[in-house]
Amino acid sequence: MQTRTLGSNGTTSLQVSALGLGCMGMSFGYGPPQDKPAMISLLRAAVERGITFFDTAEVYGPFANEELLGEALAPVREQVVIATKFGFRIDAEGRRQDGLDSRPEHIRAVAEASLRRLRCETIDLFYQHRVDPQVPIEEVAGAVGELIRAGKVRHFGLSEAGVNTIRRAHAVQPVTALQSEYSLWWREPEQQILPTLETLGIGFVPFSPLGRGFLTGKIDEHTHFDASDFRHSVPRFAVEARRTNKALIEVLTAIATPRGLTSAQLALAWLLAKKPWIVPIPGTTRLPRLEENIAAAAVSLSAEDVQQIEAAAARIPVQGARYTEQMNRMVDR
């Protein structure tokens, strides 16, 4: 697989595979946790197939996903880049609490705990998971900068951060990557985020590049979501919204099929064609889906192809909010 360069920590740039692997769903968020041995096998299969960029967070579980990656990737640690995140409140028993916590002392404590779970000496990319309105971003950037100078972290990242926050953080400690949602059914980052990142030399890591599975075409109004699957409460996945949004899949499939692609591969190839510093991180728990996603990295779309895809998608207004009101309140504007 080809590699791409995200941003720099001020001295060293971060190079990763053109596609990464979002690992949250293996342990958290999309129903019950998956079988651990099977997920270890899948993670190692991803490395064998050229993926070097793996995304996790302490809150996925909590803790279970970092532990999974730590065990699975220990034998190949020097070959891979692991990104994890801080910023949520989690009690001593490993239960997520309401609210955010990006106090410098908390960041340092999370880093030490994540290093133990990941079985490594340095975190490659350390994201603030959500912007904490109670802690100035300059203090957050400064704390991560200290960890970088101490050799415990290599690169600083932000997630779901707005333009003003990105600029303020970057002035204190260079931001290597921003991770936010971006796909053919959520294109808001094109308005302000992408131009800002390009100006500052910051890479972009789209999460949910397949619309939390919807752009695969495997989800419709008859799909049942387990109560532990957060899509169960997301407006965009309400039955009526799914029924209406199916029109987008039909449009994408009509473009993809003559090219010998699936709708998911078209959606990933579109993202990769947008900018050379964009690295999507689709998640999966199945080897066939992993291989399907990886094949998208070899697809080359022309500027005319991209325009055709965007024009077709723009004719289908997507129904339903992407987050619940509670989740949306944690997105920095």
Q: Identify the pLDDT of residue 333.
A: 82
Q: Which residue has the tokens 């030490």?
A: 112
- 48 by Cβ neighbours in 10 Å (0-12 / 13-18 / 19+) ranks as exposed
For 258, the token pair is 């003559």
* Three-state DSSP state, 94: coil
- Given the residues 60, 127, 182, 323, select the one marked as catalytic: 60
181 close to 208: Cβ distance less than 8 angstroms: yes
State CA 190 to chain mean position distance. 17
Based on the residue annotation, tell me whether 60 is a catalytic residue of this protein: yes
For 267, the token pair is 């959606």
Distance CA 62, CA 91 (A): 10
What are the residues whose beta carbons fall under 8 Å from the beta carbon of 221, sequence distance 6 or more? 239, 240, 242, 243, 246
Count the neighbouring beta carbons within 10 Å of the beta carbon of residue 15: 12
Closest CA to 178 of 201, 163, 154, 160: 160
Distance CA 182, CA 184 (A): 7
pTM to 2 decimals? 0.98
Q: Identify the pLDDT of residue 77.
A: 97
H-assigned helices in the chain: 36-48, 64-73, 104-118, 137-149, 163-172, 193-200, 239-256, 263-274, 287-296, 303-314, 325-328
In the chain the domains, ranked by start, together with CATH numbers, are: 3-211+274-299 (3.20.20.100)
Q: Within 13 Å of residue 273, how many CA atoms lie on the same side as its CB?
A: 21
131-137 long-range contacts (CB < 8 A, ≥24 apart) are 131/100, 131/102, 131/158, 131/160, 131/161, 131/162, 131/165, 131/330, 131/332, 132/87, 132/100, 132/101, 132/102, 133/100, 134/100, 134/102, 135/102, 135/103, 135/104, 137/161, 137/165, 137/168, 137/169, 137/172
Backbone angles phi, psi at 216, to 5 degrees: -75, -20
What are the residues whose beta carbons fall under 8 Å from the beta carbon of 137, sequence distance 6 or more? 131, 161, 165, 168, 169, 172
- 78 by Cβ neighbours in 10 Å (0-12 / 13-18 / 19+) ranks as exposed
57 close to 23: Cβ distance less than 8 angstroms: no
Q: Identify the pLDDT of residue 93.
A: 85
Listed as ranges, residues in the chain with pLDDT below 70 are none
